[in-house]
Chain A
Amino acid sequence: MSLVGTRGLTAFYGDAQALFGIDFGLDEGEVVAIIGANGAGKSTFLKSLTGLVKVHRDAVHFDGEPIGGLPPGEIVKKGLAMVPEGRRLFPSLTVEENLKMGAFAGRSGPWTLQRLHGMFPILEQKRHEPGTALSGGQQQMVAIGRALMSNPKVLLCDELSLGLAPIVIKEIYDALPAITAEGMSVVIVEQDVSVAQRVSRRVYCFQEGRVSLEGKSDELTREQISAAYFGV
């Protein structure tokens, strides 16, 4: 039984259907990537897991219980946290306050401010600056740290590399092993296919709201991925 799973998940934005029956599974300790073009439904999928998009109760399972459509606050208390697309730091809060907000759910665990300072020293250097005064890459580190502060069992990352230079992307993904070292499971949504393949064990490819390909990252060929990505 997977740690996070969906079965036939459908999701709507108003009257428009965004997801058409997604079957998905994430096992404990795994890093799984979701790739796909813009509008394929990747972000919508993550939002369905965290309760930002309402779905059928039974469509999403986490740690054995159905959580579809629950309020986001309850889901994060159970141990599912998200680094949202576009970072979305709180402009009125400093870096440190943003991180502290992440701990609001009150879960205990190894992730503390000190540990985050160790992983991303910039978080300590700029702790009293407003979150939005940092560069894109630094903001991404704050956003990741904020999600980690809730000590989740599963971390969802939505388009970490969006708008960042390759060297910064590398710096951020280099921290991934430190995150997964104690068995945290991670789902990465990425548009950058090579990065996704490099850091994950398995890959799902979304195309127009459906899963067009699924397999082990090191076994899938470029041709297969291209075909699934563009739906040709």
Chain B
Amino acid sequence: MELFRLDAAQVAGGIRNREFSAEEYIQQLLERIEKVEPKVNAFVTVGNKEALDKARIVDKKIRDGEPAGPLAGVAVSIKDNICVKGARTTCASKMLDSYIPPYDATVVRRLIEAGAIIIGKANLDEFAMGSTTEFSRDGPTRNPWDINRVPGGSSGGSAASVASLECAVSLGSDTGGSVRCPASFCSVVGLKPTYGSVSRYGLISYANSLEQVGPIGRTVADVAAVMNAIGGVDENDHTTIGPKPHYACDGRMDKPLRVGLVKQFVQGADPEVTKIIYSAFYTLARQDCKCDEVSLPSVEYALASYYTIAMAEASSNLARYDNIRYGFDMSPEGYEWNAYFAKARSNFGDEVKRRIIVGSYMLSSGYYGKYYLKAQQVRSILRNELKSLFKQHDVLIGPTMPILPFKIGEKVDDPLKMYLVDIDTVVANLAGTPAVSVPAGFAVNLPVGLQIMADEFQEQIMIDAACLFESAANMRRSPDL
């Protein structure tokens, strides 16, 4: 039996019912990883021994009749900007070369408590800055559907590891679409939660006011199950709010879903993508959803607002990396401190350096009102527009990405072109609202994702819509590798 093909719910069920052991399952996954990693490069680190040890502990608990948790034995990969105690956490950057966290991020601790097994740390764009996973010190992750193309980013390793059947689920982080973009490009499900519903304690900061940790899986139900494990208030993150979630994917809805297709999202998209999104729209209409087209005019300013805020926050967040306490080996002997820091920090990659510099520019005196203040203003306007749309609609839909997965190297030297692909995803981060990407189909054998957005803390209705679409569209596939 090919256990590596099973989704998280099947794995937890099979191990609980002793149809197979966690050790057999993890062993198969490790073999799978060895086979496909040379092609995909989804992992920065794989924890073979640790994962097998944890699997044996799960098996013992099951044999002894002890509770093993709702995710017992389920293999999960963790984006390498989320702290796992004792495991190197590098953000795919030379600047964190030797960082071994002395603690678990809250989301990691909660996954472990739910019985999940961490199988490895997933590749990403350095410090989560990018949309392709090309800006990694460990080399680019490749799209499992076409290894000459990008998997999306910045959680490209997370999405590719789930799509390539190297693990059942993954944790990524989403600052401007970094969970949903690679989920769309790799044809898996990726969810960005409401701001404040999941703890950021132990997530290495890039842009605090925008980012959330989010799950990636092959089914909507798996993603909901991970949300149930990681969500809820954490005293170590003051922005967390709300009760522990109990999301269900049981298809129970009292009345027809009201669905709005955001026309600005489809207008600028590749015609191949638009075709699939309209077909998704009709699929939902056939499921008795009340569907119409809606307008979100401030989308025009969303990207400029997003990049201003993200880069400003990045420039202040990354000021802390001085290479003194953890970093790469560079002796401070003979250096004056400014010279040492400037020299050491020149080891950030191109994209990180660009963003720090643009962020410093945006925050310079005299420019603050011109950029940062206006960006915050757009944020409020966008949020008000969304609030008024959500009075009439349960969910808003559109493409997750306006284009198909492109060739590796195609946009790597053109930052602005790269930024423009985030147009549909940044809206949810600016507004703090939840959004999920669900596989919607294929155009010339390349995946297209449907983005479903809901009002803040309305994850359940968003999951309802995603489940309804998932079963009606029946688009679950795995690539040949």
A and B form one complex: no
B-binding residues in A (CB < 8 A)? none
Which B positions have Cβ atoms within 8 angstroms of A? none
